[in-house]
Chains A and B, each alone.
Chain A
Amino acid sequence: MKFVDEFRDAGRARECAAAIHRLVTRPWTLMEICGGQTHAIVKFGIDRLLPESIRLVHGPGCPVCVTPLETIDQALNIAARPEVIFCSFGDMLRVPGSREDLLSVKARGGDVRMVYSPLDAVKLARMHPEREVVFFAVGFETTAPANAMAVVQAKRAGLPNFSVLVSHVLVPPAMEAILGAPTNQVQGFLAAGHVCAVMGCREYEPIAARHHVPIVVTGFEPVDILQGIHDCLQQLEAGAATVQNAYARTVRAEGNPAARKMVGEVFEVIDRKWRGIGLIPQSGWGLAPEYAAFDAAERFGVADQTAEEPAECISGLVLQGVKTPLECPAFGGRCSPEHPLGATMVSSEGACAAYHRYRRMPVGSG
């Protein structure tokens, strides 16, 4: 299949891995930002092709994982109301809130629906004027344009029964937070290709310069990821620290101007709490004042709801790359995909879920 097969080719992957082996003279620690990359690394066994001195730590780029507990609780609260049709992407449905998940709300009679696009939720609002349709607008810069588009369409169509529960987060402030932490071990980043497809690469330049770290925009297929790792290590070995685009077939330096414009119109940058990490200043998007009427948290009076994380879950440390899932005492025992203590175990992109699914036993790299 075009654009997939050539980037999963075993021969090209091995060539790229061999080039990495020739290049490396010292130990290095890299972080892949995106959960999709984490998943591909563990699924295809990419880390097992690398020299032992190279450590990959898994970043915070899993939207399901970093959505705060209280936002999940707000969603559960809204979804349980009889007048509401609550629409969400599939992988938010099993994320545990303080007491239950959206699937349990559905099982008790809540009208919870899985949609593939926020525009499907707008369509539902049009079809059911007597109901309140709420879309759970979570994610990084990648999902924001479509979510913004949904709000714009609802406003244009004058749909008073449509609203969004927003929990959008941004990559660059999270990178700053990771680099600024005293426990930081990350020496180079693989930036998330799809985030850069929207936002472009320029906003990473100040970070690379200030912290002297190479940042390589990287795709999601095995050969893409190996190329990103190769380019990042090449910079580290040479003492360089620039923003480099290893995913040029998709990412342009300026990103997608139309998508950025749409996002800029609907959202404004605000402080956001990240699940497992805490508050990061100026790290997310909320609805801009002109669109405040579409804020579901305000409409349903749940904006002030707060919640405490289970103390045992170390997902915050996992999301910051300080610990790996296998270092968690609850991993695979008290915490499993059936009974997750934290979101990194439940999301298909969460590092704990990826390890649980692919790595619960030693297997050779063959």
Chain B
Amino acid sequence: MADETNDFHLSCPVPITQYPHVVMAHGGGGRLMNQLIDRMFVAAFGNPALEERHDGARLDPEGRQLAFSTDSYVVRPLFFPGSDIGAMAVNGTVNDLAMCGARPRWLSAGFIIEEGLPMETLWRVVQSMREAAAAAGVQIVTGDTKVVDKGKGDGLYINTAGVGVIETGFLIRPASVRPGDAVLLSGDVGRHGMAIMSVREGLDFESPITSDCAPLAAMVLDLLGAGIEVRCLRDLTRGGLAAALNEIATVARVQIDIEEAAVPVTDPVRGACEILGLDPFYVANEGRLVAFVPAEQARQALTVMQRHDPGRNACRIGVVKTEFPERVTLRSRIGASRILDLLSGEQLPRIC
């Protein structure tokens, strides 16, 4: 292997020392991806908005507070139980904007289409985007179209970027999290990742698992409208609940302590994870968030979240502490404490 003993030093030409090539794990939502972002992108582009390490950037041109975010969608297959790439591309960016406390307003859509994609397929995706945009109250106001040679793309990739208007005075970001804050989760975890895996790998489970893909902006705006002093929001995507909590614990320099038994996981997702040796806490979601709120407002916040469909099973899963900063700890079902760590890359199914 390459020189493992040297710690990283930024130097030209390539600042990633351990892997001379990009591997899939660099996109897996774990520690390798964070290293890539920190050492390559943040190192090159560094600025205050980027360094907040939030789901979107907070910008304030001439006194108006805006949120700006982007995401690319490379999911395979394009249609899967519960959703599709089109709805995901809209909801994903809508959710990133919502995590800044913004009201999502305008999206761009970039399509990278592989030669040979049936028009009917593209039309179904576009219709799904139209419906998702209408449901989330956003307009798709600009776009781009590229076609690549057959075999050079997976049918269709979509990039969306979005702008939202921040109407709250609270600074919703990891650094605002305070010791004693309650950690709320909007619903059960692991459904999107297991839905994709079950179709992609042809795994048939007794009851089909459907993606949780959903827009979260209405729920967030309702929380703010109810006067909840939201400290931080994070939607759970790649890397799942564990990655989201670890990122916040690191940036906010706090300990986040959660109860394993308090985190809802449906039986089909648990069953599928057991079979494959995966941990649902690390599996991707597309319609779930964690919210950090003052403990005294936790009950009220849950009532608001539960009024919304994607928040129907919202619950309190933990608390912010100070004893072990930058760590996420978990009290197991049998009462012992342990770390809930960030993984290196994606979870890999076990041999036995």
Residues of A within 8 A of B (CB): 1, 4, 8-10, 13-14, 36, 42-46, 48-49, 63-64, 89-94, 96, 98-100, 103-104, 106-108, 114, 116, 138-140, 142-143, 194, 222, 334-335, 337-339, 341, 348-349, 356-361, 363-366
Contact = CB atoms under 8 A, between A and B. Distances in A.
B276 interface: yes
B44 interface: no
Contacts of A138: 351
19 contacts: A1-B271, A13-B334, A36-B352, A43-B338, A64-B351, A89-B350, A91-B348, A93-B348, A98-B1, A107-B24, A116-B201, A194-B352, A338-B31, A338-B344, A348-B350, A357-B339, A358-B339, A365-B336, A366-B335
B334 A43 contact: no
Contact of A4 (B4, B270, B331, B341): B270
Interface residues of B, number: 44
A100 B1 contact: yes
Interface of B: 1, 4-5, 18-25, 31-32, 35, 201, 203, 267, 270-271, 274, 276-277, 324, 327, 329, 331-339, 341, 343-345, 347-352
Nearest to A42: B338
Nearest to A356: B341
A101 to B, nearest CB: 8
A108 B270 CA distance: 35
Nearest to B255: A361
Contacts of A1: 267, 270-271, 274
Among A140, A143, A194, A363: residue with most chain B CB under 10 A: A363
Nearest to A334: B5
Nearest to B197: A116
A287 B23 CA distance: 33
Given A104-B19, A107-B22, A116-B276, A91 B350 contact: yes
A94 B352 contact: no
A339 B4 contact: yes
Nearest to A115: B201
B349 to A, nearest CB: 4
A167 to B, nearest CB: 11
Nearest to A94: B348
B324 to A, nearest CB: 6
Q: Which 10 A-B pairs have the closest CB atoms?
A: A45-B336, A90-B348, A363-B337, A107-B21, A90-B349, A13-B334, A339-B4, A358-B338, A142-B352, A89-B351
B83 to A, nearest CB: 24
A361 B324 contact: yes
